[in-house]
């Protein structure tokens, strides 16, 4: 891991691809030293860090599985021990494994719930301990429109994303008085690998704006919630879905 930077520090889980990648780039362009967590794709993580550095930003990659409590705490403790502050945490790590509920296996249920919700716990708790001591910080968790509305075949994903909302609102009520803002962004249909096998033309008909969203459109909202411009926003869910919900 790199030496402590004087820049504000932002940790982004699942930060090397899709929405997480866009968030990492957006925060780096805003002056943060971005620590991008990833699970398996070394090439994507390396490419992200190189891209950020090539454009004058500051970033590093940290590989660990957010589902693994011990590995997560070890990685976060290493980061917080060498950083003067941890200013931002973005909980973006998540997966999908769709199936009608009546046919869903326990494995599919557990994989999705553990990545999103257990991962949220494993990373947020040690980061929050640091933020409580410094009496400052912003946490943004990436939920989904599926956490707010019914979506057939995604009971596990919907449960995980709705859980992020409930947990974030409760934690916000616990720590807002300490100068820590906890919020949620709920994207709709966004151009990422999750939609690679989906007929996009059909999906556009259910979106009032009649188009699929872009990852950077989500990233800009996350950047706002992390900034001083959002200094009085806490415990909120901001939807970025083109009017779909």
- Catalytic residue (one of 32, 38, 157, 232): 157
232 lies in a domain?
yes
42 lies in a domain?
yes
For the chain, give the mean pLDDT: 94
65 membership: H or E segment, kind and range: none
Count the Cβ atoms, other than its own, within 10 Å of residue 201: 7
Give residue-wise pLDDT tens across range 208-228.
Answer: 999 999 999 999 999 999 999
Give residue-wise pLDDT tens across range 63-93.
Answer: 999 999 999 999 999 999 888 899 999 999 9
Asked if the model's pLDDT at residue 5 lies above 70, the reply is no
**Domain tally, the chain:** 1
Asked if the model's pLDDT at residue 193 lies above 60, the reply is yes
Q: Please state the separation of Cα 85 from the chain's center in Å.
A: 19
Lowest mean pLDDT among 57-71, 137-151, 185-199: 185-199
3 lies in a domain?
no
Give residue-wise pLDDT tens across range 105-143.
Answer: 999 999 999 999 999 999 999 999 999 999 999 999 999
pLDDT for res 200? 74
1 lies in a domain?
no
pLDDT for res 222? 98
Residue 78 · residue 1 · CB < 8 Å: yes
Indicate which CATH number applies to the domain containing 130: 3.40.50.720
| pLDDT classification of 194: cutoffs 50, 70, 90 | confident
100 lies in a domain?
yes
Asked if the model's pLDDT at residue 199 lies above 80, the reply is no
pLDDT for res 7? 92
Q: Which domain holds residue 162?
A: 9-240
153 lies in a domain?
yes
Residue 143 · residue 162 · CB < 8 Å: yes
Whether 157 sits among the annotated catalytic residues: the reply is yes
4 lies in a domain?
no
Cα separation, 185 vs 145, whole angstroms: 9
Cα separation, 25 vs 189, whole angstroms: 20
235 lies in a domain?
yes
Q: Which residues lie below 8 Å from residue 170, measured CB to CB, with a gap of 6+?
A: none
Put simply, whether the predicted model's pTM sits higher than 0.85 gets the answer yes
DSSP 39: S
| pLDDT classification of 33: cutoffs 50, 70, 90 | very high
Could you give the percent of the chain with pLDDT greater than 70?
98
| pLDDT classification of 3: cutoffs 50, 70, 90 | low
For the segment 147-175, the average pLDDT, to the nearest whole number, is 96
């Amino acid at each position: 891991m790199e030496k402590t930077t004087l820049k504000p520090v932002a940790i982004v889980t699942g930060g090397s691809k899709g929405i997480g990648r866009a968030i990492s780039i957006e925060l780096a362009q805003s002056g943060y030293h971005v620590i991008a967590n990833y699970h398996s794709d070394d090439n994507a993580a390396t490419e992200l860090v190189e891209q950020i550095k090539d454009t004058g930003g500051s970033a590093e990659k940290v590989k660990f599985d957010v589902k693994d409590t011990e590995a997560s705490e070890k990685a976060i403790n290493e980061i917080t021990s060498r950083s003067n502050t941890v200013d931002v945490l973005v909980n973006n790590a998540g997966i999908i494994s769709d199936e009608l509920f009546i046919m869903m296996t326990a494995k599919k249920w557990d994989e999705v719930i553990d990545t999103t919700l257990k991962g949220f716990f494993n990373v947020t708790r040690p980061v929050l301990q640091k933020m409580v001591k410094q009496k400052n910080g912003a946490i943004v968790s990436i939920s989904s429109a599926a956490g707010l509305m019914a979506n057939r075949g995604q009971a596990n994903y919907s449960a995980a994303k709705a859980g992020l909302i409930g947990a974030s609102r409760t934690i916000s009520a616990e720590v807002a008085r300490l100068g820590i803002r906890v919020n949620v962004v709920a994207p709709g249909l966004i151009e990422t690998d999750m939609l690679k096998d989906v007929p996009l033309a059909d999906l556009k008909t259910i979106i009032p704006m009649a188009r699929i969203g872009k990852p950077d459109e989500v990233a800009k909202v996350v950047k706002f919630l992390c900034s001083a411009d959002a200094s009085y926003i806490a415990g909120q869910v901001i939807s970025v879905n083109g009017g779909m919900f």
